[in-house]
């Protein structure tokens, strides 16, 4: 078939569609950045009733974009209408943290949203629905949604966003080494999307001459363990808070860009030899307890992700993996029963 043949549209739900992240995200999706330039989409947009008017405004602007790939919009405050038949679910709707708050402060505020919407996924979504949780605390909210849908949907359908952390880390390494960001490959984020996340460059490389397969390990190119341990890691961990302090609002356009990258790679596949980070339900790899929603380096093929096996874990990184695991377990223990 011709690459220009128009397949059936993909139904994509964005929750929190009247919010700040959505205000970048929905236009990126409508313009083809998530599923490629030939794939039409129907956008389902959900927010809460008091945001109905704002939501109408977003739909007006989507119409005004005259996007050739936008085959329709379903803007609603009704959960059943929003989740009916969706194939991709971007769970952005939740309360963001403000200055001085930790993501864990949102635990109880947002838990019910993900319980209700996990049940709606089970009832109304396509069985192969790909779910990405963005609302914080993202890993634990994904755990809640997955649990609520457990009888009906496989846990492999669920993920949470750590791609923004990966992008932040890649950008910092590129700047430090003095190379374009596109040359920095296989930086990993392990664990929770929180202060305990583990940005890890042990297996990362700078692609010097990709056509010849020539690479330099990031550890060699940086050649400064003190900077990596005492500056790079804490800066990546604290970047969300730094943006909140500067903007008085949490990251939005960069979050939307990360959401696009996460879902694009999951649906269309990662490049050969390249890894990306996704928080997914642990299968016990790297001794991470089964069932935790934990960020791992993954590769994607034919719409399925798989955790990259056999990567070297240094004793320094192992201690940090233990700490982020413990934090994720304590978030689950703190959930309302």
Query: Active-site residue 44, yes or no?
Result: no
From 15, 75, 76, 97, residue interacting with ligand LMR (rule: CB under 6 A): 97
From 84, 88, 146, 164, residue interacting with ligand NAD (rule: CB under 6 A): 164
Within residues 7-46, the interface with ligand LMR by CB under 6 A covers none
11 binds ligand NAD (CB under 6 A): no
21 binds ligand NAD (CB under 6 A): yes
Nearest CB to ligand NAD, comparing residues 141 and 215 = 141
135 binds, among ligand NAD, ligand LMR, none (CB under 5 to 8 A by kind): ligand NAD
103 binds ligand LMR (CB under 6 A): yes
Is 163 annotated as belonging to a binding site?
A: no
If you compute the radius of gyration of the chain from its CA atoms, what whole number of angstroms results? 19
1, two tokens: 């078939």
Is 47 annotated as belonging to a binding site?
A: yes
236, two tokens: 């990546």
237 binds, among ligand NAD, ligand LMR, none (CB under 5 to 8 A by kind): none
Burial 249-268 (b: 16+ CB within 10 A, else e): ebbbebbbbbbbbbbbbbbe
Give the residues across from 158 on adjacent strands: 131
Is 322 annotated as belonging to a binding site?
A: no
239 binds ligand NAD (CB under 6 A): no
C-alpha to C-alpha distance for 84 and 124, rounded to whole angstroms: 5
Nearest CB to ligand NAD, comparing residues 221 and 244 = 244
Residue 312's Cβ-count burial label (10 Å; 0-12, 13-18, 19+) is: exposed
What string marks each residue from 151 to 170 as x (binds ligand LMR by CB under 6 A) or -?
-------------x------
Helices marked H in the chain = 20-30, 52-64, 79-83, 107-124, 138-148, 163-177, 218-222, 225-227, 233-237, 239-247, 253-268, 315-333
Q: How far is the CB of 137 from ligand NAD (least distance, A)?
A: 8
Residue 274: CB atoms within 10 A of its CB come to 15
In the three-class reduction of DSSP (H, G, I as helix; E, B as strand; rest coil), residue 154 is classed as coil
109 binds ligand NAD (CB under 6 A): no
- Name residues whose C-beta falls within 8 Å of residue 63's C-beta, 6 or more positions apart in sequence: 73
Name the residues that contact ligand LMR, by CB under 6 A: 96-97, 103, 136, 164, 240-241, 243, 250-251
Name the residues that contact ligand NAD, by CB under 6 A: 15-16, 18-21, 46-48, 51, 92-97, 113, 134-136, 138, 161, 164, 193, 250-252, 255
């Amino acid at each position: 078939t011709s690459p220009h043949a128009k397949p059936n549209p993909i139904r994509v739900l964005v929750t929190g569609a009247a919010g700040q992240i959505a205000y970048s995200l929905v236009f990126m999706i409508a313009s083809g950045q998530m599923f490629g330039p030939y794939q039409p989409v129907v956008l389902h947009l959900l927010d809460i009733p008091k945001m109905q008017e704002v939501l109408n405004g977003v739909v007006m602007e989507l119409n005004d974009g005259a996007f050739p790939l936008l085959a329709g919009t379903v803007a609603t405050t009704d959960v059943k209408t929003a989740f009916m038949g969706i194939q991709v679910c971007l769970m952005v709707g939740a309360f963001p943290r403000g200055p001085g708050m930790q993501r864990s402060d949102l635990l109880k505020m947002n838990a019910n949203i993900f319980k209700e919407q996990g049940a709606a996924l089970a009832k109304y979504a396509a069985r192969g629905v790909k779910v990405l949780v963005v609302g914080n605390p993202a890993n634990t909210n994904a755990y809640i949604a997955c649990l609520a849908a457990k009888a009906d949907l496989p846990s492999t359908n669920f993920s949470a966003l750590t791609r923004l952390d990966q992008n932040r880390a890649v950008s910092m390494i590129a700047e430090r080494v003095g190379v374009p960001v596109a040359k920095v490959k296989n930086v990993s984020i392990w664990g929770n999307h929180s202060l305990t996340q583990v940005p890890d460059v042990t297996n990362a490389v700078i692609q010097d001459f990709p056509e010849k397969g020539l690479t330099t390990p990031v550890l060699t190119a940086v050649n400064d363990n003190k900077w990596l341990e005492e500056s790079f890691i804490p800066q990546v961990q604290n970047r969300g808070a730094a943006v909140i302090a500067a903007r008085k609002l949490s990251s939005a356009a960069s979050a939307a860009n990360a959401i696009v990258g996460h879902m694009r790679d999951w649906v269309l596949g990662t490049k050969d030899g390249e890894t990306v980070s996704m928080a997914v339900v642990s299968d016990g790899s790297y001794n991470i307890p089964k069932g935790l929603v934990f960020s791992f380096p993954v590769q994607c093929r034919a719409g399925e992700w798989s955790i990259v096996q056999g990567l070297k874990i240094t004793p320094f990184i192992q201690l940090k993996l233990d700490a982020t695991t413990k934090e994720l377990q304590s978030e689950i223990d703190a959930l309302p029963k």
